[in-house]
Amino acid sequence: MESVVFLVDIQSFYASIEKALRPELEGKPVVVAGDPERREGVILAACPLAKSYGIQNAITLSEATRLCPHLTVVRPRMGLYLKASLSITEILERFSDLVEPYSIDEQFVSISGSEKLFGDPLTIARKIQAAIRTELGVYARVGIGPNKVLSKMACDQFAKKRETGIFSLTHDNLQRDLWPLPVEKLFGVGKRMGRHLRSIGIRTIGELARFPLERLKRKWGVNGHVLWMTANGFDLSPVTPQTFHSQKAIGHHMTLPRDYRTAEEIQVVLLELCEEVCRRARRHHLLGQTVSVGCRGADFDFPTGFYRQMKMPEATNQTMDLFHHAWNLFLRFWDGQPIRSLGVSLGGFASDDAIQLHLFDDREKKWKLGYVMDEIRQRFGPTSIVRAISLTPSGQAYERAQKIGGHYR
């Protein structure tokens, strides 16, 4: 029996949550954006009414207000949206024990075996829509397929454009409905890959599906094989709640509030980011041996920056050890120009149940100190203990403590 997978997506998630909780917004074009007071930032979510004016996600707030002068702008509340996302997970878990969050507003659900309890897939999709609508006041779209990739494309390319908000994409209607679409509509194909595919005569998803697999593999290796499988509707990855339990890397990135021009002020933020990365690594009892550093230049018209990584001599989850290597890596590739964003990540994990002893360095003491600092922050808040550099004008620790994912809680 073929499996049945749903991709449940919430329409205009952030904006829909705000409108559901604030009746005075009913009938108004609403967007959720960075900083309504200063009228700056980008659009994170736009309700359907706002989209009817041509407003799309990721455009600037100033551009959105030009398109719709009477636009209602709401500041993001990320803590609220995360709580709503968890509530949706709980609703989906009533229908299946196999629920896999894909993003804050999208979740996969395997309903194979649930039909005897709740009905056929279409009936279950309607019940899920009704439960989410009743309990949270938001509208869910449901893509149905035999695997994750087909359910994702069923939702993105068809369910979102239908009044019912439900569409099923299977191997039976794949050629009729999916193959005629432009190749850029295929999951996993971006603008650059789209240009590459068109340069060799592939314009539609169907043409990619029928293209000789060996030629794709010679040109793009494993990625070429994956694209061919996706175009033909094959996906072997299971729906599993444990998707995010085994992390390959832990990282933090932030857009800076202004141009950071000197090594001294960049150093402050990099140290704070290393502190947060190591705190999360310790929380999962992990040591990492690969450090990655990236930045973006301040001139948006002439993009500059880099992303580089290196393997450290020994695995660590200690802030100063990570910072030492991250800073050297940054200095090696920084062009000396102002930057506007900075990030660092730690990978190559192993368990922290064993640490390498050193004759001239009391690593056990440092290891214990890190966990004690984590416990203090856990009990009394993220800014209950900070490094002195965070008190300088360049420090961002206090500002970041008020945010989730770069936006205010």
Please list the active-site residues. Answer: 106
Total count of residues recorded for the chain: 409
Phi, psi (5° rounding) for residue 201? 90, 10
SS3 93: coil
CB contact at 8 A, 197 and 208: yes
DSSP string covering 28-52: S-EEEEEETTTTEEEEEEE-HHHHT
Does residue 113 come out as left (phi exceeding 0), alpha (psi in the -120 to 50 range) or beta? left
Q: Which two three-digit tokens encode residue 236?
A: 């072997």
Question: CA–CA separation, 122 vs 348, rounded Å?
Answer: 43
9 is annotated as contributing to ligand binding: yes
Question: CA–CA separation, 315 vs 352, rounded Å?
Answer: 9
Question: CA–CA separation, 409 vs 399, rounded Å?
Answer: 11
For residue 342, the surrounding DSSP H or E stretch is strand 339-351
Which amino acid is present at 345? S
105 is annotated as contributing to ligand binding: yes
SS3 310: strand
Q: Which two three-digit tokens encode residue 234?
A: 């094959």
DSSP string covering 137-196: ---EEEEEESSHHHHHHHHHHTGGGSTT-EEE--TTTIIIIITTSBGGGSTT--HHHHHH
Count Cβ atoms below 10 Å from residue 350 Cβ, excluding itself. 11
Of 197, 187, 195, give the one whose Cα is nearest residue 220.
197
Of 164, 169, 217, 160, give the one whose Cα is nearest residue 2.
169
Annotated binding site for Mg(2+): 9, 105
Annotated binding site: 9, 105
